[in-house]
Structure 1
C-alpha cells in the first residue's frame, strides 16, 4: 500500500508540474487615463504559418470579404530568420531579430553562457532575454490598458510591464471561450477596458509542418481560422465599439526536400564549436576563437547544398551579420541551406513535410499575410509587399502612442493604409 501511495503521489506531482495554467492574469490597480479612454481600439490577430496566399488558395471567404472592405497586402515580408518567435516579436517591437535580441527560436548567449529556447517556459517568461518596447509595454507606460490572448513575450514583464490582462500560453482554452473573453474585455467600464488586444492561432502552422502547405488538412485549419475570425468580428460588434482588426502571420510555409537531408559537415569539430539552430539555419559558436577562420575555410571548400558565412560577411539585406548583432547572439559561422534542402543535424527519424526559415527575399513561400479592416483603414485598398517591422509604427499611429526609441520600421505602411484624420 505504501508503494502504491508513493507511486500515486509521484503521478499527481508530475501532473501538477505539467498542468497548463488556464487562469487569466490581471495586473491590479491599473486604469486608462481620461485621454486614453477616447482612443481607438486595435485587435492584432496572428495565425501562425498562414502563408501570404492561403486566404485565396483555400478560399477563406470571411477574411477575404472583411479585408475587401479594408486593406489587402500582396504579402508581408518576414524578418530573417523567417521563424515564429523572432517574427512575432518583430511585429510588436518594430525591431529586426538581430536588434531585439530574439535572434531565433533557439539560440546561445555568450555573455550569459546560456541557451534560450521557445520550448523552455522559464526562459520565455524571463524578460531579460528581450530588448525593445513591445506595443503593450508602450501602451501601459502611457496609461492605456492592453490585453493578450497569447503573443510571444507577453508573459514576460519587459521593462517590468505585462499587459493588464493576459494568459500564459496553453492549448486548453477553446476558441469560443477565448472569443467570449475578448468581448468581456471590451465590455468593461471605460477606465478598465483594453484598447490594444493580441490574439493568436497556432493551428495552420501545425498542419503546414505535418502535412505540407498543399494538404487538405492545412486547408481545413485555414477554414477554422477563417470561421473563428468571423465569429470574433461579429461578437465584437455586439459591444457597439468601432474596433480595428489587423490580421497577420509570422511567416509562410513551403514543402522541402526530405529525401536528401544534410548532416553535420565533417569540417566541424564539435569540441571547438557549440552548434545551435534548426534545419534551415545552423549557427556555430566558437569555444576557441582561433578555430573560426580555418573551420570557415574548410567549410567553404567542401560546401555542397548550402552557403557558409562568417558573421562579418552575411548578406546585408538579412540584417543578421556582425553590424546588426547588437546583443552578440549570432553565431560566428552560419550555414544556410539552398532551398529546398535542409540540415538534419540531430539525425531525427521524422522530418516534417513543411518548413520555414529561409531567406524571404529568395523564397517567396516564406512571405506572410497582412489584412486589415475597421474605421481607421482606407476601404478597398490593395498594397504591395512590405516589411513586417512596419506594423509596429502602424499600430502606434492608430492608438496615438508616442515612441522615441530605436525602430527598424518606417511610416510607409501607416501612410499608405490609414485614412487621413
Structure 2
C-alpha cells in the first residue's frame, strides 16, 4: 500500500474546522412600543465570561478592560438603539417607520464598526510599543518562575541540552531514540501464546511489569495525559473524558472538537513530554496521541510533526509512518521521541465486550502490528538504538442489562444542570438547588432500591472521595478539584448508570458492551507495560530478571525522559528532580522471582465470558499451586505480519465503532447544541468585517500572552492579519454602501 506522508495526515473528519466561539451566543433584541431596542443579555454574558471575575482577570484582563475591547470584554453585545436615536411619531406611516428603522440599524452598525476600528488601531499602537519594550528588556523576564523546583528544572534542562550521545546501526548515526506505543484498552490478560504470540514473547523475554495501575478515573484522555506529564488527572486538569469547567463556563467532550476536545483552555496543566524534549533540543513526532492536536499545546509547540486522529487508519500505515520518520537521512531532522496511538482494542471492546470472535480477531490484528514494528526495527539494525515502550491506558469491563442503575430513579434530572464523567457520574445541580438538598434527595431515593443494587453503587460528596484516588478531597487538595462535580455516583466495576429514556431508545439493551473508567485498582482496569531496547538493557542488563514490580502510570513520564537523557518537569512520579533519573527501571525495583498475584482475573462477583484461557499472565504469575511453567509453551511469531495485516484490514475496517454516551444524553437540556443564527445580508457582511478585525485582535492577544515563548511568531501573525484586514475592509465597505439598498430589501 502506497502512502503519501508529505501532506496533512488523512482524517475521517477535519476536526479543526471549528465554529467561531461567538457562534455559541445569540443575543436578543426586543422592540418596545416606543422605546426602541434594548439588549437584556449584557449581564448574562458578563456572568458567563470568566475574564470578568476579579480572581481571573490578571494583568492581561486589565489591559483589555482599559481599551474596552468589545470582543474581549463581552461588550460586543450592546444595545442596538435607544429612545434618543429612534423615535416614532404618531403621524408616521408604516413604510416610513420601516425605512427609518432599517437605516437606523445600518447607521448604528456602521458607527459600531468605526468605533471598533479605532479601538483596534489604539490596541495595535499599544501592542507595538509593548513589543519594543519586550525586546529591550529581554523576553526571558516573562518566563521566569517563582517556584524553586521550576528553576532547578530549567537549570537541569540547560545541562542536558548540551549532551547528546551518538549511536550507530552500522550504516547511519542516530541519537538515542524512544518509541512509545499506546494500545488503548489493552488488558494484560489479553496476551496469550496463540492469539498474540509477539506480545507473548515480549512478556516472557523482554522487560516489563505484570501490570501497570492507571490513574483515576481509568478513562482514555485523563490517562494518556498522565502518561506524558507524570501528573494525576486532578493535577493536570483533564479530569475525565467529559466534564464541565465552572470557571471557563465550558463543557469538555473528548470526542467532540467543537465542544472542548481541542480547546487549549482545558489543556494548560502539566508539561507534555514533547514540550520537555523540545526545550532540551530533542526532536519529537506524534502520531495521534490525545492532546497533541491542541493548538499551542501539541501543534506548533514542540513536536516536529503531529498527525491528527483518524480512528479508521490501517495499522500497517502506522508502522509505515513511524519507519518513515526513522529513515530520514539527516540525524537532526529525525525524531528521537515518537509517540503513536492504536485505538483498535478499545473500539472493539466497547462494541463487543471482553469476549467473542470479533475481539479475538482484533487482538490478532494488533499483535501483527507489534510484530511488524519489531521486524522493521530489526531490519534496520536498530535493536541497540531504539527503545520500544508498549503501554495501555486502562483495561475493560463487561456490561449487562442486569447491572443497571437508572439515574432518574434516584434524582430529579430537572434539578441537574451538568453531568460529568461516565461510567461514574458527577452531578452539578442548578444554583437554585442547594447541594445538601440534592445530596439528601439522592440518599433517600437510593435507600429505596434493592439491597443488591445499593451495595454496588457509592455516593460521595467531592470532599469525601477516598484518598487513594487522588481525586477530590478538600477544595485545595488538588490543583483542578474545581473541575470536579460536587456530588458523585460511583459504580463498582461492571455496573452501569443510564436513564429510562436512554434505555428505551437503545431498545432496552444497554450499550456499550465494554466499559472502563472504574476504580483504577480493579483487576479489570489494569493496564499494560512492556519494553525493549538499550535503555532497559543498561538499567537491568546485569540481572537475569527482566521484570519490575507493578507501578502507577504517573511513573512513565520520568522513564521516557530518562531514556532520552532529558530532565523532567515537576510531576507526581517518584523520579528524583535533582538527578532527573527515573527509579522505576532499577535493580532495586525488581519483581521477586517467586511473586504471584493474590487476585485472579477477572475478580468480580458475577459470571462473565472472557478470553483468557492460557493467558501468559497466568503462566507467569498465577498462584504457584495453579501455575504452569512458561517454558512449557514455545511460540513462534508470524514471519509475514504484513501479509496478515493486509488480510485482516479488509474485514476489520468495515466494522462500525460503538457510539459512546455524552453528557447531553442524560440531562434534560442539551448544553452542546448551538442555536442557528438568523440570516441577514447586512448583518452577515458587517459580521465578516468584524471577524476580520478580530483576527488582528487575536494576533495581538498572542503577542501579549505568548510574549515569552512565541514573540516572533505572534508578531508575524499580527503583520499577516493586519496586512489582509485593510484590503478586506476597503472591499467590504465598498460592497456595504454599494449594495445597501439591496440588503435593506432583503
Deviation digits for residues 337-364 of structure 1, max 9, x if unmatched? 1333210146141412211111022x21
Q: Contact conserved, 2:558 with 2:568, CA < 8 A, in 1?
A: no
Matched, 1:308 2:485: no
How do 1:90-105 and structure 2 match up within 5 A? Answer: 90-105=226-241
SS at match of 2:406: coil
Shift of 1:186: 1.0
How do 1:164-175 and structure 2 match up within 5 A? Answer: 164-175=304-315
Matched, 1:205 2:346: yes
Paired with 1:374 and 1:98, the residues of 2 have a C-alpha distance of 33
Find 2:546's aligned residue among 381, 385, 394: 381
Find 2:397's aligned residue among 243, 249, 254: 254
TM-score, normalised via structure 1 length: 0.86
Aligned to 1:326: 479
Select the structure that is richer in helix: 2
Paired with 2:226 and 2:443, the residues of 1 have a C-alpha distance of 32
TM-score, normalised via structure 2 length: 0.50
Paired with 2:585 and 2:220, the residues of 1 have a C-alpha distance of 24
How do 1:336-347 and structure 2 match up within 5 A? Answer: 336-345=490-499, 347=502
Paired with 1:75 and 1:227, the residues of 2 have a C-alpha distance of 21
Find 2:564's aligned residue among 399, 404, 410: 399
Aligned to 1:64: 200
How do 1:157-306 and structure 2 match up within 5 A? Answer: 157-158=296-297, 161-188=301-328, 189-241=330-382, 242-288=385-431, 291-303=434-446, 304=454, 305-306=456-457
Paired with 1:341 and 1:354, the residues of 2 have a C-alpha distance of 11
Shift of 1:17: 11
Aligned to 1:9: none
The more displaced of 48-57 and 155-164 is 155-164
Q: 1:355 to 1:404 in 2, by over 3 A?
A: closer
SS at match of 1:111: coil
Q: Contact conserved, 2:420 with 2:485, CA < 8 A, in 1?
A: no
Paired with 1:207 and 1:404, the residues of 2 have a C-alpha distance of 35
Q: Contact conserved, 1:144 with 1:195, CA < 8 A, in 2?
A: yes
Paired with 2:263 and 2:233, the residues of 1 have a C-alpha distance of 17
The more displaced of 232-241 and 146-155 is 232-241
Paired with 1:115 and 1:75, the residues of 2 have a C-alpha distance of 33
SS at match of 1:358: coil
Paired with 1:317 and 1:59, the residues of 2 have a C-alpha distance of 35
SS at match of 2:585: helix
Structure 1, unmatched stretches of 5+, are 1-15, 23-31
Matched, 1:46 2:177: no
Deviation digits for residues 301-340 of structure 1, max 9, x if unmatched? 3332411101101001011113444221111001111333
Select the structure that is richer in strand: 1
Paired with 1:128 and 1:344, the residues of 2 have a C-alpha distance of 30
Paired with 1:376 and 1:149, the residues of 2 have a C-alpha distance of 22
SS at match of 1:82: coil
Deviation digits for residues 46-97 of structure 1, max 9, x if unmatched? 1111012111386411122234332131111111111111111111111111
Q: 1:266 to 1:174 in 2, by over 3 A?
A: closer
SS at match of 2:239: coil
List 4+ stretches of structure 1 deviating above 4 A: 16-22, 416-419
Find 1:135's aligned residue among 258, 273, 284: 273
Shift of 1:98: 0.9
Q: Contact conserved, 1:47 with 1:204, CA < 8 A, in 2?
A: yes
Shift of 1:382: 2.0
Aligned to 2:96: none
Q: 1:333 to 1:418 in 2, by over 3 A?
A: closer
Q: Contact conserved, 1:245 with 1:374, CA < 8 A, in 2?
A: yes
Q: Contact conserved, 1:183 with 1:239, CA < 8 A, in 2?
A: no
Q: 1:308 to 1:416 in 2, by over 3 A?
A: farther
SS at match of 2:527: coil
Aligned to 1:11: none
Matched, 1:117 2:253: yes
Paired with 1:111 and 1:358, the residues of 2 have a C-alpha distance of 26
Paired with 1:270 and 1:338, the residues of 2 have a C-alpha distance of 22
SS at match of 2:387: strand
Q: Contact conserved, 2:231 with 2:554, CA < 8 A, in 1?
A: yes
Q: Contact conserved, 1:20 with 1:172, CA < 8 A, in 2?
A: no
Paired with 2:216 and 2:461, the residues of 1 have a C-alpha distance of 16
SS at match of 1:42: strand
SS at match of 2:332: helix
Q: C-alpha root-mean-square deviation of aligned residues, in Å? A: 2.7
Paired with 1:381 and 1:182, the residues of 2 have a C-alpha distance of 26
Paired with 2:351 and 2:11, the residues of 1 have a C-alpha distance of 28
